[in-house]
Structure 1
Amino acid sequence: MATTTRSRTTGKAPLSAYVLSVLMALVLASIVGAVASVFYSENRVPGFVIFAACTVGTFFALGWVLFVSQYTVVEDPHAEDNIEHRWYDKATSGAFHDILTTGGIALVVLSITRVEISGVSVLLVLLILAMISVAVRFWAARRRDS
C-alpha cells in the first residue's frame, strides 16, 4: 500500500482543522459519557461528566492526528529504519511474551487457589505490567546499543 507524504508543510493548520479536532473530541467524549451514564443509574450526571472529561483529551489527540497533523508534521519516509523503531519493536515483542507468561502463571495460581478477582483488577494489572515491561525493555535495548 503506497502512502503519500507531504514534502513541505505550512507549519500551521487552518482554523477549520483545529475546530474539527475540538468538535470531534467533544462529540466522541459525549458519546462515551452517555454510554457510561447508562450504567450509573443512581449518578447519571456525574458518571457522564467524569467519563467525558477523562476521554476528551484522548479524543482531541486523535482529532489532532486526523485533521491538524497533515499541515504541521513532516512524515519521515524511513521511520522503520530508525534505531528507535527497532528498540520499540524489541521492547513490545518481549513485553508480549512477558504478558503471556505472567497471565498463564496467574491463571494456574488462581485456578488452584480458587481465588476470585474482578475483571477490572486483572485488566488493570495486565496493562500496568505491559507498560512497565515495554519501558524497561526499551530502556535496556537503548542502553545496550549505545
Structure 2
Amino acid sequence: MMATTTRTAGKAPLSAYVLSIVMALVLASIVGAIASVFYDENRLLGFVIFSACTAGTFFALGWVLFVSKYTVEEDAHAEDNIEHRWYDKATSGAFHDIITTAGIALFALSVTRLEVSGTAVLILLLTLAMASFGLRFWAAKRRDS
C-alpha cells in the first residue's frame, strides 16, 4: 500500500492510542492462543512467540484504524502520483513472475515426482514476491528519475 498522504492534520486523542494498543494486544493474544493449540510440547512458548511475532502488525493496524484519522490527511489525488504508477507496475510484474515461476515449479515437481513441504513452497513464493516487487519498484523508480 503506497502512501496516500500529503501532511499531518494534528494529534490524536489519548483514547485513540489506547484503543490502538488494546486492539493490538487482544488480536496478538488471539493469534498466540490459536497457535498454542498446535504446540503440545510447550504451549506457553508457542503463545508467547506467535503473540510477539504478530504484535507489530497489529499495532500498525491499530494505528491505521484509530490514530491515523486524526494525524494524517488523505491526498485527494493519490492515484496521480508517480509512486502509485511505480507501485502498479511493480505489483503487476511481480504477479506475473509468481504465476510463471509457480507454473514452471509445478511442472518440474510433477515430472520429477519430488515432494516438497507446503511451508517451504509458501516461504519461497513469498520471498519471490517480495524480491520481485522490490526490484521492479526500484527499476521503475530509476527509469523515471
User: What is the CA–CA distance in structure 2 between the aligned matches of 1:64 and 1:90, rounded to whole Å?
Assistant: 28
Alignment-derived partner of residue 126 in structure 2: 127
Percent identity over the alignment is 78
Shift of 1:8: 7.6
Structure 2: runs of 5 or more not aligned: 1-6
Alignment-derived partner of residue 59 in structure 1: 58
Write the letter of the residue equivalent to 2:141: R
The alignment of Structure 1 onto Structure 2 pairs a total of residues equal to 139
Shift of 1:79: 0.3
User: What is the CA–CA distance in structure 2 between the aligned matches of 1:78 and 1:32, rounded to whole Å?
Assistant: 37
Q: Which runs of 4+ in 1 moved over 4 A?
A: none
Structure 1: runs of 5 or more not aligned: 1-6
Alignment-derived partner of residue 86 in structure 1: 85
Alignment-derived partner of residue 36 in structure 1: 35
CA 1:12/1:115 → structure 2, altered by over 3 Å: closer, same or farther? same
CA contact (8 A) 2:8 2:71 kept: no
Shift of 1:51: 0.1
Shift of 1:21: 0.4
For residue 58 of structure 1, give the secondary structure of its aligned residue in structure 2. helix
TM-score by length of 2: 0.93
CA RMSD of aligned residues (A): 1.2
Shift of 1:145: 1.2
For residue 117 of structure 1, give the secondary structure of its aligned residue in structure 2. coil
Shift of 1:66: 0.3
User: What is the CA–CA distance in structure 2 between the aligned matches of 1:62 and 1:88, rounded to whole Å?
Assistant: 21
The yes-or-no answer on 1:118 pairing with 2:117 is yes
Q: What do the CA deviations read for 1:114-133 (whole angstroms, capped 9, x no partner)?
A: 11111011000000000000
